[in-house]
Amino acid sequence: MYDITKWQHIFKLDPAKTISDEDLDKICMSNTDAIMIGGTDDITLDNVIHLMSRVRRYPLPLVLEIANVESVMPGFDFYFVPTVLNSQDVQYHNGILHKALKEYGHAIDFDEMIFEGYVVLNQDSKVGQVTKANCDLTTEDLEAYALMAEEMYKLPILYLEYSGTYGDMEMVKAAKSKLQSTQLFYGGGIRNLDDAKEVFEIADTIIVGNVIYDDIKHALKTVKIKE
Ligand code: 1GP
């Protein structure tokens, strides 16, 4: 019912962080295309269900970006399943996924599952550390990952994850240059509308996270890329 390929802007909410009802209302009524619930640390069944029930009152697509098997629950429109292409730990390629499918494969509606190729580009970020990502990449390295996503794995999404820091636009351009069918997501360090516009000139979809929690006014303005 929802067409992910048309999404241009996503707000990512971290279930381990606190957001007031007032700010949540502004985020959900902001004309963003979707809300994604996701994070790296302290993602539990309890905090995911709590945030989901608060966001569910609003008529917009809701995605769970799966951080661990323990916090997965029914009730989302989509489940984004990351595979970290530059992780040096096989768990983050397909190890966790294998375990999950072994246990729950019979009960999964695969139409709701979206496989998301991740390239983590901020070594100091939590996700960089946890997944043991090799972030020391040249534009040629990144182009090869983009080809891997587009031509080999045929992934619907390639997500450049700069989490917490604003990325190198030359890298974003390099990834984009190899993509046609695969949708390019960019997340990391978008703090205001100017950042959002710059990234959105290259990427298909931008993800705005942290700034929601420390500068809601500027966070809301990033949605203006859609105008
Ligand atoms: C994090 O890509 C998202 O997973 C967004 O990054 O929190 O830096 O906006 P920021």
What pTM did the predictor assign? 0.97
β-bridge pairing 205-208 and 183-187: parallel
- Tell me which DSSP letter residue 206 carries: E
C-beta 156 within 6 A of ligand 1: no
- From the CB of 167, is ligand 1 less than 6 Å away? no
Q: Where are the alpha helices (DSSP H) in the chain?
A: 21-28, 45-55, 95-104, 126-130, 139-147, 169-177, 193-200, 211-214, 216-221
Region 128-137: mean pLDDT is: 98
161 Cβ inside 6 Å of ligand 1: yes
What angle (nearest 5°) sits at the alpha carbon of residue 94, between those of residues 70 and 158? Answer: 100
- As a whole-number percent, the residues of the chain with pLDDT over 90 amount to 99
4-226: in CATH 3.40.50.450:
no
Q: How confident is the model at residue 73 (pLDDT cuts 50, 70, 90)?
A: very high
Beta strand residue intervals within 68-156, DSSP E: 78-84, 113-120
pLDDT of the residue at 227: 87
Ligand-binding site membership of 197 (annotated): no
Query: Per-domain residue ranges for the chain?
Result: 4-226
Cα(192) to centroid(ligand 1), Å: 13
Q: Is the pLDDT of residue 121 over 90?
A: yes
112 marked ligand binding residue: no
Per-residue pLDDT reduced to its tens digit, 6-48: 999 999 999 999 999 999 999 999 999 999 999 999 999 999 9
- Which pLDDT value is given to residue 1? 80
Beta-bridge partner residues of 11: 35, 208
